[in-house]
Structure 1
Amino acid sequence: MALLTLAEAKAQLDIDTDAHDAELLAYVEAVTPVIEQFTGPVENRTVTEQVNSRSNLLALSQAPVVSLTSLTPVLTGGQAVDVGDLAVDSAAGVVRRLDGGSFAGGPWTAVYVAGRGTVSPTINLAARIMVQHLWRTQYGAARGMVGGGDDVSVTEPIAGWGYAVPYRVLQLLEPFKAPPGVA
């Protein structure tokens, strides 16, 4: 599952030849981490990490969470927890025991799939627009693009994002914004 395919980027840019595929693929691949910095993981990936808890909750670092694969204590001799006995708040990346118990005996090694399961059409559109915005740098002054064109002037940077991410992309991604402390 790709956030954006080469074919989708070519369609957005009205490119019908293969002449720029290698270069355009670099743009397509560069868009994913920028989008995911704002939304958290979109493309599904397996994550293995150590987590600690002093309560009955474990907070995974990458949300949303598609599924929890395993939860085992790091220390030898500890008992793995059956993932069927756990509830995962997918959006927040928080794991809790269904029996109300705590996560004693940690730290724990959590293996899970982070991402969204499917790419929302809105996130895909934001990625298409971002590739289009970045691809415009190919034109330079020849097409009147000095100073930012119609996206935003380089003298008006977006707080925390700079000029690479136009307002329209941020507005499309707003409903998918990662919770604080995630992404």
Structure 2
Amino acid sequence: MPYQVTPTPIEGVLILEPKVFGDARGFFFESFNARDFEQATGLQRSFVQDNHSKSAKGVLRGMHYQAQNPQGKLVRVTQGAVFDAVVDIRPGSKTYGQWFGLELSADNKKQLWIPEGLAHGFLVTSDSAEFLYKTTDYYNPVFERSLLWNDPDVGIDWPLHLLDAAPLLAAKDASALTLAQTAEQA
């Protein structure tokens, strides 16, 4: 099997660990193969967009989602390390309002499958990090939304102790809505 797949407490969110071949020269692995992804996860998805960001230590991006045209995401880190988090905001989901987080790093090579309808974000815990993700729908700025990263009703346990200062946020993320407010808008 090309991936080891581990379910998480959030319905549909999966940790994928690719088979890595390494020796004294370095390493090789297939970071994505559509046939192997479908076989390992049981999911048939078409990815339409790849995104790549680089961020400094302490940058917190998220918790992002699209109100329409929701994006499924396959995410990974190619340089550095992040604490990656998802929140289930799918109305009627058994895990609605729950969160899950884990470290993604260039060293551990883990990937996270995030189904459509979840809010997603990450905190850079290394000096810098390069973050890549494949999406199942196109980015649509008209429907972009942010869930408040520190909503006390959600309670994400961000590893802020790893930072030298408060997290660095974009204005849209600092003024994002709480889970209760997003539910009122739905």
Per the normalisation by structure 1, the TM-score is 0.21
Larger Rg: 1
Higher helix proportion (structure 1 or 2): 1
